[in-house]
A and B are shown apart, each in its own frame.
Chain A
């Protein structure tokens, strides 16, 4: 196994020290930060994501791998920022106004981070104007809205409308939460719906590919 493959294994196994050491070695060998991300880290998270999807591991185990990746990213991120390299996709996510259910939204954010999206998490009870302000500030490719209450579903509609009215017509909007459906997403003008955190990565990628 070469160092790149060893780094992939270290992240897969959640081995934080090895992840950082091997990243350092690869940088010293002259590999570009983006190459390390794309050729070693992303394949590791893809394996971990697949294991989660097939029920081989649970979220806490996936998070151990994510933390190992974070250790590597601590070294890589400053270099990439300096070189003007951004994650391929940036997303803004939040639970809509009036709604405090956050764990589902947190899980979606975690999955997106695992897929190397840049994620700006606005938290819970987020009014439409804060979403609009965040879109102005971060210029994301994707907005994620979560709602768990029937009485906060209308806040999703107002948020979608506010974003569109502010002139952000090309940013994709993905929504989810226990009372939400594909049909509701269509009705309020969102671009897509995902039933769970696992499918929210594929769902987002599909929207972004269009």
Chain B
């Protein structure tokens, strides 16, 4: 494990779509982050129980999804395709089911490559089923074993990219969002979350190494996106969700410190910050993922992406065809435009990137903290900090001050009723102790310690 102390990208104009300082080459020869943006298709089942009886029907769904998608990719002369298989919980609890489905996808992708020369790569994202038990057992037990078996089996079957939406720290974070407590957010993400990530991704690294595949990356979905969806529903202030996003980058960074190489997971909207720190390619999702959830980041998310995803869509019939095929078509057209801009040279690509940034940034604090300039400012505050706790504080304070300055300059709109939240958050972060151990002592008396097993986080109970 090594800490990042410098930035891979420190110049805002270098933080842009399709290009990463450390691209990743796949077995089929796709260079992710090497000058081309690839579509990343994700899909899920329509309402259906997942069990042994329904498994033949479920296999038919996945076969139908992949056949339709690959055929359309060939027809639209797609340069290369990332397919993400985000399993559903019973498929991780019963690794054979998940692995068999992964095989269906890999086989079809191999066939399309042999027949049509279509390059593709499978990202396997088993569920973090550890939280099926409450309080979750993070490091032992049947759920943990089954989850690792799913990773292992999929890697052996040919899934080249390993990802997960891990949930370490969520036990405390959910409440932090409900009560709007930024101290508890930092504890969940930068004490509990990073500790779990280091444990988890070290294990996943060993699996990847055994099978010659890559640890791609994690996401703070259960943290930043829960906050974002809550802000969309007017449950919590947008400025609060924006600050949570900045802090969440500290947690996700831990997977890269443990050997992940990208592309980072699509729903990690903290990825622009992580691209600046690590230089690895990143998946992003935005307007073409409205099928999965709404967001205020539709265009700006694409500004720094290396693969462009739809997050998830049910396999249902739309007028144009089956939904995954329709969404793949949209992704391919989005990517064509970005790739055309890249082909026209740096200035053209920058102009297109800037349009995507400007069309969102002023409208929502959550978009504003993700402009290339602001992502780099937050990234810098993280790498300059000596440890995760300090990095969390620094990311929060930087985001708050960027929002204040942005508002003063008329660069971002912040609703009047959200203003006091900037002061409250600043005061709360400003009053935190200086050392991590003091902070842990303090917070163990504040958070509900019955919701997690402290020793699974290397914390004294």
Binding site for B on A (CB under 8 A): 55-61, 63, 98, 100, 102-103, 106-107, 110, 123-125, 149-151, 153-155, 178-179, 196-197
Contact = CB atoms under 8 A, between A and B. Distances in A.
A150 B417 contact: no
A151 B49 contact: yes
Q: Is the interface of B mostly helix, strand, loop or mixed?
A: loop
B345 interface: no
B234 to A, nearest CB: 6
Contact of A106 (B174, B314, B417): B174
B96 interface: no
B45 interface: yes
Nearest to A63: B179
Nearest to B293: A178
Contacts of B106: none
Contact of A110 (B131, B178, B417): B178
Given A100-B131, A107-B178, A150 B45 contact: yes
Contact of B44 (A103, A150, A155, A178): A150
Between A59, A107, A154, A178, the greatest number of chain B beta carbons within 10 A of the residue's beta carbon is seen for: A59
A58 B89 contact: no
Classify chain B's interface size: 20 to 34
B34 interface: no
Given A102-B174, A107-B235, A60 B48 contact: no
Given A63-B178, A123-B134, 8 more contacts: A58-B234, A58-B237, A59-B235, A98-B90, A100-B131, A103-B230, A106-B178, A196-B233
A188 B408 CA distance: 53
Interface in B59-110: 88-90
B132 interface: yes
A103 B90 CA distance: 21
Between B45, B89, B132, B235, the greatest number of chain A beta carbons within 10 A of the residue's beta carbon is seen for: B235
A149 B88 contact: yes
Contact of A125 (B88, B132, B237, B417): B132
Contacts of B181: 60
Contacts of B237: 58
Contacts of A58: 180, 234-237
Contacts of A102: 174
Contact of B88 (A63, A124, A151, A179): A151
Contacts of A124: 134
Given A151-B47, A154-B49, A59 B236 contact: yes
B178 A59 contact: yes
Contact of B417 (A56, A149, A178): A56
B291 to A, nearest CB: 12
A106 B314 CA distance: 26
Interface string B158-187: 000000000000000010011111000000
Contacts of A57: 417
Contact of B47 (A100, A103, A107, A150): A150
Interface string B226-239: 10001001111100
B385 interface: no
Contact of B180 (A55, A60, A150): A60
Nearest to A102: B174
Contacts of A56: 417
A204 to B, nearest CB: 18
Closest 5 CB pairs of A and B: A60-B180, A153-B47, A154-B49, A59-B235, A150-B47
Given A58-B234, A58-B236, A151 B131 contact: no
Contacts of A98: 50, 89-90
Given A58-B237, A151-B50, A154-B48, A103 B132 contact: no
B117 interface: no
Contacts of B321: none
A154 B47 contact: yes
B12 interface: no
B29 interface: no
A150 B314 contact: yes
B314 to A, nearest CB: 6
A109 to B, nearest CB: 11
B131 A155 contact: no
B461 interface: no
Contact of B236 (A60, A125, A149, A197): A60
A69 to B, nearest CB: 15
A178 B226 CA distance: 13
Given A151-B48, A154-B47, A103 B233 contact: no
7 contacts: A56-B417, A57-B417, A100-B132, A106-B178, A149-B88, A151-B48, A151-B50
Nearest to B237: A58
A102 to B, nearest CB: 7
Contacts of A154: 47-49
B145 to A, nearest CB: 19
B177 A103 contact: yes
A60 B174 contact: no
B134 A55 contact: no
Interface in B36-52: 44-50
A122 to B, nearest CB: 11
Nearest to B90: A98
Between A100, A102, A151, the greatest number of chain B beta carbons within 10 A of the residue's beta carbon is seen for: A151
Nearest to A196: B233
A103 B179 CA distance: 12
A57 B180 CA distance: 12
B45 A151 contact: yes
A61 B417 CA distance: 12
A103 B236 CA distance: 13
A83 to B, nearest CB: 32
B224 to A, nearest CB: 13
Contacts of B50: 98, 151
B226 A103 contact: yes
A103 B314 CA distance: 23
B135 to A, nearest CB: 11
B107 to A, nearest CB: 23
A125 B46 CA distance: 19
Contacts of B180: 58-61
